[in-house]
Structure 1
Amino acid sequence: MAGGEVFVVDRIVTRPGCARRFVDAYLSEYAPGAHERGMTLRDVLVSPPIWFEDQSNVVTATWALPSPQAWWEMTWQGRPDPGLGQWWDGIAELVAERTRSVAASAADVDRLCDV
């Protein structure tokens, strides 16, 4: 399979006043397992850059994997793990909505498509 770094982007809209608690839980509880699945945390961004008490924030976490193969391996490890769903269920009171996307550098897309 072609090389090229793959990025996993988690975008979480927190419930009002919950962004700091979400980030703390994400980094202390979710991130260690993600590291075990081969993911490297690149950034955790909070938008806007203020801990609102009465409004939502958007938290964007960007993870990197060294190749598409590494992304597939991470996916194969994570999907059957009931602990991941339980973790997200356990913090549901902090989260208004969440999405995950997968991306690569534009310079790598042609190479990644050549499998």
Structure 2
Amino acid sequence: MNREPAPEGGVEILDLVVLAASDVEAWLRSWRTEYLPGARERGMSLQRLWQSWTGPDTVAVRVLWSLRDDRAFYGSRSAANRDPRVPEFWARTDALALDRDRQVLQPVALGAAATEVPA
């Protein structure tokens, strides 16, 4: 029986921030200088940064982070809770953002039954 490899156990975080198009560049500058350095210090590794138009004058910014495992995730979260710069940054973001969401994701092993294709 062939099986897919077990998940590595890593954690990925997908942040979504929807902004007015006119606010995107300023928000990204702020994110790069105020949030990114601290996130890296807390063990978050930046994987991807995307932006996409969601309307004629709105842009969604998506940020994909990774951490080595759930212990690293909870350690990072705890460190963020102790750092007053983190809630201050997100409060300023919330004053601008039209929408914001964070998803914390871990891979799931599918197993052999999930990969079978019906005839």
TM interval, short-chain normalised = 0.7 to 0.9
Aligned equivalents of 1:102 and 1:63: distance in 2?
9
RMSD of aligned Cα (Å): 2.4
Return the offset for 1:20.
Answer: 1.7
Return the offset for 1:30.
Answer: 0.6
Aligned residue number for residue 56 of structure 1: 58
Return the offset for 1:63.
Answer: 0.5
Aligned equivalents of 1:86 and 1:59: distance in 2?
19
Checking the alignment, whether the CA contact within 8 Å between 1:13 and 1:57 is kept in structure 2 is yes
Corresponding residue pairs, total: 104
Return the offset for 1:94.
Answer: 3.2
Aligned residue number for residue 105 of structure 2: 103
Aligned equivalents of 2:46 and 2:25: distance in 1?
18
Return the offset for 1:18.
Answer: 1.1
Residue type of the partner of 2:59? Answer: N
Checking the alignment, whether the CA contact within 8 Å between 2:15 and 2:64 is kept in structure 1 is yes
TM-score (norm 1): 0.77
Structure 2 unaligned blocks of 5 or more: 1-6, 111-119
Structure 1 residue ranges (4+ consecutive) displaced by more than 6 angstroms after TM superposition: none
Alignment of 1:11-90 (within 5 A): 11-48=16-53, 55-90=57-92
Structure 1 unaligned blocks of 5 or more: 109-115
TM-score (norm 2): 0.75
Aligned residue number for residue 13 of structure 2: 8
Which secondary structure state, in structure 1, belongs to the residue aligned with residue 58 of structure 2? coil
Among the aligned pairs, what percent are the same residue? 26
Return the offset for 1:78.
Answer: 0.9
